[in-house]
Structure formats: C-alpha cells, structure tokens
Amino acid sequence: MAKVRVAVLCGGRSGEHEISLRSSEAILKGLDPAKYEVSRIFISPEGRWEPGPILPEPGANPGIDVVFPILHGTFGEDGTVQGLLELADLAYVGPGVMASAVAMDKDVLKRLLSERGIPVVEWATLWRGRYDVSVLAGLFPYPVFVKPANLGSSVGISKVARPEELDAALQHAAQFDRKLLMERGITGREFECSVMGNEDPIAAIPCEVLPSRAFYDYEDKYLLDTAKTVLPAQLEPAQTEEIRRLAVEAYRAAGCEGMSRVDFLMESATGRLYVNEINTIPGFTSISMYPKMWEAAGVPFAALLDRLIGFALDRQRAKHATRFTR
C-alpha cells in the first residue's frame, strides 16, 4: 500500500511558537516511516512559510494527503489555519473551524458550556481600555485570575491576590488580546483529561497536575521542570468517571473532532468540578500529558498518531460525500 503523505505544520505567529516546535519534533519522530511519508512545514514567528505555503485551492497541494497542524495558540489553534485547510480541501488532524474558534475563546466557550449545563467558574468579560478597575475590584472574592480570552499555555495569565494588583494584571493580559477574562479563583485541585474521536469520542485516564508555583503557569509547564503530575489521578472511581463524562460532554458541546484535552478544577471546599478550558491542539512534547494519558489508557504514542490521522481521513471521506452545489 502507498504511504500516507503527512505534512506536519509547526511554528507559527504565536506566543507558543517554541512549544509548537517541540511538539512537532516528537510527532516527526513518532510517525512510523513504514506507513507515512512525512514532510515538515515551518511557519516563522513573522508568519513566513518554509518551504512554501499551503495553497487555498483544491488539488493545489498534491504532495499532501493529511496535515497534522501542531500550531498552538493564535493563528493556528483558533480556526484560522483550519479554514485554510478547508479551502484547500485537505484532511487535517484535530477539530474544525468552528470548534477551534469556540474553544480558543474562553468567554464564548464558557457561555456555550453553561448553556449545556456543564459547570464553569464564574467570570466577567472585559475589553482592552474599556473597563473600570474600581468597579471590577469588588466583583469577586480574592484571589481572582485575569487572562487573555484567546491564548493558551497560560501565557498572559495572572493570579491576583489583592485589589491593588488588579490593574497591572489587566494591563499584562491586554498585551496579548483585546478581550480579557476575570474569573473567581478556585482553591483546589487541577485535572486534565484527553479525549479523541469524531462521532463517538472517548476519554482517557485523567491525570492531576501539581503546580510548583502559585498556579500552573508557562514557566511551570515548560521551563522549570518542577511541576508534578499524578497519572492516574488519585480519585474515587465515581470522581474519575465524572471527569471522563464531563470531558466528553464538553468536547461534544464545542463540536470537537479528532482530539482535544479538557482541563478541570475541583474546588476543595465543595468538591465541585468545573471545566476550565478545552485545548484543541494539545501539546505533544516529551512532557505533554495528552499522549501520556492515552499511553496510560493502553494507547502508545505511535498508535495514537495512527488513530488521529485515521480520524482526519475519515472526516475527509465524510465531507466528500456531502454536496456543496444544487
């Protein structure tokens, strides 16, 4: 059988550029050369494509059967690249345009999950330069979290312990997005749960994240190597199943396909679970939990890549059975 031609798309115009490169290296090493003919497409921090861009025209990219976009954050995880791949009529790994855009916008995702009865932490949505700090200061008990609405890997997020710290946190977040979120702080535990699939998604074994800092920030995730993870998470069986159930429900609510990682908070005082966010292109680095959770569930890294590419090709075949003209 002919090898499947996979283009791994990495880098990008994002604060998570370096993480994308590390994820792409793991994927390139993990793809079985007996099954795949693999190429790498690099996008520089300035947005230049090397060796050349994917063209937004069906049939214009003959050397590619499926794209594996591993572009974390803006201009990659937010539906923009997914739109390009739809125009090019190329199969691609991960959620489509709508789900990617919804999951990237934390405000829109919270509203959508709330409408479906899925618990999320209380929040307020703000716009750069259009908020009154004196009004916001008393909105929630402290600590509160301030974050850009559209970013990942905890870039731009601050944990605010006192009202006098709020303005600086808002200004910091506003460097990364025009739209901001302010959330009630949750004292408790953090969990992650990997999900994959198209029409019938399944959840892996959840893990617990034990930050070494005030919260699981960028440095803790990627630089310090001091945060710890517990896999499987030490939970009662009913709690584990509830995380898995909510992960699948959140995945479906956002319209995800292919893969996503759903992150949770568990409040110590109440034991209540909250969906914190959905990552539609989770990390695939050597320390990333998305593949590690699947490995714990009996799906090793190479087999996981096979499945994700299979979901992409299945979806493409389903699209080709759809009429786009009268």
- Regarding whether 91 and 27 lie in a shared domain, the answer is yes
Q: How many CB atoms lie within 10 A of CB 211?
A: 16
Last residue of one domain, picked from the residues 184, 209, 234: 184
d(CA 245, CA 239): 10
Single out the residue in 154, 184, 214 at which a domain terminates. Answer: 184
Is 90 found in the same domain as 228?
A: no
**Spatial separation of the C-alpha atoms in residues 241 and 224, rounded to whole Å:** 32
The verdict on 106 and 240 lying in the same domain is: yes
- Active centre residues (catalytic): 16, 153, 222, 261, 263, 277, 279, 283
Least confident range of 73-87, 216-230, 274-288, 290-304? 216-230
In a domain, 312, yes or no: no
> Which residue is listed with tokens 């031609």?
5
Q: Is 325 domain-assigned?
A: no
Closest of 126, 118, 120, 158 to residue 142, by C-alpha? 158
Confidence (pLDDT) at 218 = 58
CA gap 317, 30 in Å, rounded: 25
Q: Kindly report the average pLDDT of the chain as a whole number.
A: 93
Q: Is there a domain that residue 326 lies in? A: no
| Pair (199, 286) in one structural domain | yes
Contact predicate 229/216, CB 8 Å: no
In a domain, 157, yes or no: yes
Q: Is residue 323 part of a domain?
A: no
Q: Nearest-CA neighbor of 20 among 65, 66, 76?
A: 76
- Is residue 314 situated within a structural domain? no
pLDDT digits (tens, 9 = 90+) for 14-49: 878 998 999 999 999 999 999 999 999 999 999 999
- What integer pLDDT is reported at residue 285 of this predicted model? 86
Give the mean model confidence (pLDDT) for residues 312-325. 92
Q: Which two tokens stand for residue 10?
A: 């990495």
| Shared domain check, 172 and 43 | no
Distance CA 266, CA 165 (A): 25
Let me know whether 200 and 257 are in one domain.
yes
* Residue 65 sits in the same domain as residue 144: no
30 plus 49 within the same structural domain:
yes
202 and 89 inside one domain: no
CA dist 149 and 135 (Å) reads 20
Which pLDDT score is estimated for 280?
96
pLDDT of residue 206: 97
Q: Domain holding 58: CATH number?
A: 3.40.50.20
Residue owning tokens 């960028």: 218
Are 224 and 115 members of one domain?
Answer: yes
Q: At what angle do helices 97-104 and 80-87 cross, to 10 degrees?
A: 170
Q: What pLDDT, on the 0 to 100 scale, is given for residue 180? A: 95
CATH number for position 143: 3.30.1490.20
Task: Give how many domains the chain has, as a whole number.
Answer: 3
Residue 76 lies inside a defined structural domain of this protein: yes
pLDDT digits (tens, 9 = 90+) for 110-161: 999 999 999 999 999 999 989 998 889 989 999 999 999 987 656 789 999 9
Of the pLDDT bands very low, low, confident and very high (cuts 50, 70, 90), residue 281 is: very high
Counting every residue written for the chain, the total comes to 326
DSSP state of 74: T
Higher pLDDT, 215 or 71: 71
Q: Is 112 helix (H, G, I), strand (E, B) or coil?
A: helix
pLDDT at 225: 61
Backbone phi and psi for residue 167, each to the nearest 5 degrees, phi listed first: -60, -45
The pLDDT tens digits for 183-238 are 999 999 999 999 999 999 999 999 999 986 565 555 555 555 667 899 999 999 99
| Domain, as residue range, for 71 | 4-95
Indicate if 64 and 212 belong to the same structural domain.
no
pLDDT band at 323 (very low <50, low <70, confident <90, very high): confident
3-state secondary structure of 300: coil
Whether residue 109 is found in the same domain as residue 226: yes
CATH of the domain at 236: 3.30.470.20
Task: Kindly state whether residue 309 falls inside one of the protein's structural domains.
Answer: no
